[in-house]
Amino acid sequence: MRHNHQVLLSASLLLLLPGILPSQTQTKGKLQAFTMDHRRAFLSHSSVDVSFLLDAPAGRHGFVRAQNGHLVRGDGERIRFWGVNITDWSKGSVMVPAKQDASLWAATLARFGVNCVRLQFLDLPAPRGLIDGTRDDTLAFDIDQLDREDFFIAELKKRGIYIDLNLLVGRPFKAGDGVHDYEKIREGAKGISLFDDRLIELQKDYANKLLTHYNPYTKSQYRGEPAIAIVEINNENALWIGAHGPTPYYDRELADLYNRWLRENLRPADLRKLQATAGVTGDEPVPSLFGKAEIEAAPKDRFYGEAEFFVAIEKHYFEDMRKYLTDTLDVKSLVLATADHSHSGSSYPLLLATSSFDIIDGHTYWQPPWASTSKSPMVNDPENSTVVELSRTAVQGKPYIVSEVNHPFPSESEAEGIPILAAYGGLQDWDGIFWYTFEPKVSPDWKPYIGDPFDLSLDPVRMTELAAGALCFLRSDAKPALKIIGRSYSRDQVFDSARLLETERPYFTPGFPLLTPLQHGSRIESLEGVPTRGFSQPTVVNPVVSDTRQLVWYKSGERTALVTLDSPRSQALVGYVTASARSVTNLSVDLENEFAAIVLTSMEPKPISSASRLLLVAAGRVENHGMQWNLTRSNLSNWGGSPTLIENIAGRVILKGLHGAEDVSVQPLDGSGQPFGEAIRASKTMEGWAFRLGPVPTTWYEVTVIH
């Protein structure tokens, strides 16, 4: 995960418009105060608590394992992960909660349906991570910090929340570590940590100390703890073709490794030919390719030779680390190498090095802060959606998770992100989706505003959608695709994909119809086999209908695009709901708002048509008080502050086909999930049970149906 606060919070020219203030009356498009209150929720029961989805304690059936291309519990039952990353980027947040708050945050995550957390930046110095920050090296843990993390993990386990434990992420090496040019190395030693002997030695030392550590609260070492579902070797780390080190020392080291590899793997005649192509003779080293133009212009034999070398380095590193974890340390958890994390280029060379691992992983973000473009809704651009970007990485026969994804704040269309991916993640039959990120707060009097583009914790749109998304994804409410479109590549094609133009993104497979993942499943069958010859274009371009018929993506115009989910237990209208005038089986709306995400889901195993309790999420824009966009609407010129403000969704809703319903009431909820204002009584009409949203500002409602 790249996190550059200089980019996120850089000042630009101020808009000439004042910030929008909260109001006590409902007006179309008006923003009103609505804040999340997790501490109050912790002390009282919420009727929309979805922790019943979790199977506590985590690991009670044994270790999670891979079976028939998916994740299963120790007893062989299928398990999916609906997760979050735990970080502390925004002010007032903490990655390792104090013991008195550990229960609060574990209970909060469980209440919203989170059944796995990704602990990512633990290799930072205390008081952020676990490393003892008082020393001149990074070789020891802060004892108090480790004790707090032990307790937090025990609290998570108790509630049925598994752990995805990362090893190398952001470790800032110091002089005492014995690392060359330590002060010039990027945190986490990206790239060079895959080949430098000292850095690899340090990684193994860290893994040994962490994974053999005994947690007194779970009474187990982490290497033998079934609540640790996944151990990730390295976060977002790869050697791209043409890569070079951060200093001349590492450039020389990489060049030496490259030329040694050439001598060991090429026949003398082929080596001489390669030397001639590179313009060197005798014992002169073959120089690496540097720069996009040089890579594109290189003859095939030279390009393929270097590509093979980089894959060999990556594969050797990851396999060596896996062997150390599983054979030397006897780690019982599933091991993941690293994620496909750069959609501006092809991921296939990296997958060639990592696809033998237990789990395949992908990351992406919709219009993140480092993308200097004005923010626009994803519903308008299905071909470049997070669904399509992430679908390129899944490998046939391997569990696939998305361990980082988000629709970052600020965005006037952020409400579309979670419900769309929860539904299409079901269609693609993925094994896990982890939202980046959730940031526990330090103090009981924290200010309720969104302090970071990625933090869900105090966002009244993304948090309430998190609960609805958990119901949809963990129960497989959106059925897996009936047909899987597989594709195979030759080894040469894998390497050639790295030279394709960015216009081929995200699949980097010429001719592949990008709407396919919105219709069918998508998997890589082979990265070194017989290439797929041609791809069939979708028979219907607009709307794009899934082969299960449950998902439809309408794109007929810039302000009419809409995604619908229509399954028995979860239904949704996401996008330009009013202009599209669409409905699903049990839900029809006529809103005053232009853009919204309306999600209706059963709180019971029963379908919506016969359930007694339903969760209704109605979300639109969210802002901080006083927030202001820059002139290009690519980021903020003024981040604003407390409280968070929502665009209250107002209009007429009709619940249809509620079998035997005698009475329907709709209770608005506050930020703690408690009743907020009076319940709304629905009226029985010829169309169904009708009621109006909008009396009080909120993003979620409990619907009670008396049959």
SS3 263: helix
Question: Residue 135, by phi and psi: left (phi above 0), alpha (psi -120 to 50) or beta?
Answer: beta
In this predicted structure, the answer to whether residue 2 has a pLDDT above a threshold of 70 is no
Whole-number pLDDT of residue 539: 63
pLDDT 10s digits, 404-429: 999 999 999 999 999 999 999 999 99
In this predicted structure, the answer to whether residue 26 has a pLDDT above a threshold of 50 is no
Whole-number pLDDT of residue 698: 98
In this predicted structure, the answer to whether residue 24 has a pLDDT above a threshold of 50 is no
In this predicted structure, the answer to whether residue 309 has a pLDDT above a threshold of 60 is yes
Nearest to 617 by CA among 566, 653, 581, 661: 653
Whole-number pLDDT of residue 106: 98
**Cβ neighbours of 497 (radius 10 Å):** 19
Amino acid of residue 416: E
**Cβ neighbours of 547 (radius 10 Å):** 16
Query: What does 149-170 look like in DSSP terms, one character per residue?
Result: HHHHHHHHHHTT-EEEEEEESS
Least confident of 205-214, 298-307, 477-486: 298-307
In this predicted structure, the answer to whether residue 676 has a pLDDT above a threshold of 70 is yes
Contact 240, 328 (CB under 8 A): no
Whole-number pLDDT of residue 295: 87
User: Residue 245 — very low, low, confident or very high, per pLDDT cuts 50/70/90?
Assistant: confident
Order of strands, sheet of 400-406, starting from the edge strand that comes earlier in the sequence: 334-336, 228-234, 162-168, 116-119, 81-86, 432-438, 400-406, 360-365
- Segment 559-569 mean pLDDT: 96
User: Residue 107 — very low, low, confident or very high, per pLDDT cuts 50/70/90?
Assistant: very high
Please tell me the pTM assigned to this model. Answer: 0.95
CB pairs under 8 A, 24+ apart, for 7-12?
7/369, 7/370, 7/635, 8/369, 8/452, 8/453, 8/635, 9/636, 9/639, 10/635, 11/637, 12/630, 12/631, 12/632, 12/635, 12/637
**What values do phi and psi take at 700, rounded to 5?**
-150, 155
Whole-number pLDDT of residue 522: 97
What are the DSSP E strand ranges found in 442-558? Answer: 484-488, 521-526, 544-545, 551-554
Contact 124, 118 (CB under 8 A): no
Whole-number pLDDT of residue 29: 56
CA 316 to chain centre: 27
Alpha-carbon distance of 335 to 63, in angstroms, equals 12
Contact 576, 583 (CB under 8 A): no
Whole-number pLDDT of residue 293: 82
Tell me the torsion sign for CA atoms 228, 472, 357, 235: negative
Strand-pair partners of 66:
71
Contact 658, 690 (CB under 8 A): no
Alpha-carbon distance of 117 to 227, in angstroms, equals 11
Whole-number pLDDT of residue 374: 78
In this predicted structure, the answer to whether residue 156 has a pLDDT above a threshold of 60 is yes
- How many Cα atoms sit within 13 Å of 225 on the Cβ side? 31
- Helix 300-323 / helix 268-278 crossing angle, nearest 10 deg: 120
Alpha-carbon distance of 142 to 474, in angstroms, equals 36
- Average pLDDT over the chain reads 93
- Segment 439-468 mean pLDDT: 94
Amino acid of residue 392: R
In this predicted structure, the answer to whether residue 628 has a pLDDT above a threshold of 90 is yes
Whole-number pLDDT of residue 540: 65
Alpha-carbon distance of 90 to 409, in angstroms, equals 13
What's the alpha-carbon Rg for the chain, to the nearest Å? 26
pLDDT 10s digits, 347-374: 999 999 999 999 999 999 999 888 777 7
Query: What does 3-64 look like in DSSP terms, one character per residue?
Result: --HHHHT---PPPSSPPPPP-SS--TT-EEE----HHHHHTS--TT--GGGS-SSTTTT---
- Segment 223-248 mean pLDDT: 92
Alpha-carbon distance of 580 to 601, in angstroms, equals 21
Alpha-carbon distance of 10 to 548, in angstroms, equals 45
- Structure token pair of residue 261: 């590899």
- Helix 417-427 / helix 462-474 crossing angle, nearest 10 deg: 10
- Segment 313-342 mean pLDDT: 97
Whole-number pLDDT of residue 488: 97
Whole-number pLDDT of residue 294: 86
Amino acid of residue 475: R
Whole-number pLDDT of residue 9: 36
Least confident of 118-127, 240-249, 628-637, 649-658: 240-249
User: pLDDT: is 536 or 184 the higher one?
Assistant: 184
User: Residue 20 — very low, low, confident or very high, per pLDDT cuts 50/70/90?
Assistant: very low
Whole-number pLDDT of residue 550: 98
Q: To the nearest 10°, the Cα dihedral for 274, 279, 282, 285? A: -80
Tell me the torsion sign for CA atoms 98, 100, 103, 105: negative
Alpha-carbon distance of 71 to 83, in angstroms, equals 14
Alpha-carbon distance of 612 to 548, in angstroms, equals 26
User: What is the domain partition of the chain in residue ranges?
Assistant: 67-245+308-474, 248-306, 484-544
Which residue do the tokens 């000042």 mark?
Answer: 11
User: Residue 538 — very low, low, confident or very high, per pLDDT cuts 50/70/90?
Assistant: low
Amino acid of residue 341: H
- Structure token pair of residue 139: 């070789």
DSSP category for residue 277: H
In this predicted structure, the answer to whether residue 342 has a pLDDT above a threshold of 60 is yes
Can you give 212-260 as a three-state secondary structure string?
CCEECCCCEEHHHCCCEEEEEEECCCCCCCCCCCCCHHHHHHHHHHHHH
User: Residue 72 — very low, low, confident or very high, per pLDDT cuts 50/70/90?
Assistant: very high
**What values do phi and psi take at 177, rounded to 5?**
-80, -15
Q: What CATH class does 67-245+308-474 carry?
A: alpha beta
- Segment 528-544 mean pLDDT: 84
In this predicted structure, the answer to whether residue 99 has a pLDDT above a threshold of 80 is yes
Alpha-carbon distance of 553 to 337, in angstroms, equals 34
Nearest to 367 by CA among 350, 337, 389: 389
Tell me the torsion sign for CA atoms 537, 540, 542, 546: negative
- Segment 369-393 mean pLDDT: 92
- Segment 313-339 mean pLDDT: 98
Whole-number pLDDT of residue 371: 79
User: Residue 12 — very low, low, confident or very high, per pLDDT cuts 50/70/90?
Assistant: very low
pLDDT 10s digits, 431-447: 999 999 999 999 777 88
Burial 522-536 (b: 16+ CB within 10 A, else e): bbbbbbeeeebeeee
- Helix 248-265 / helix 268-278 crossing angle, nearest 10 deg: 140
In this predicted structure, the answer to whether residue 635 has a pLDDT above a threshold of 50 is yes
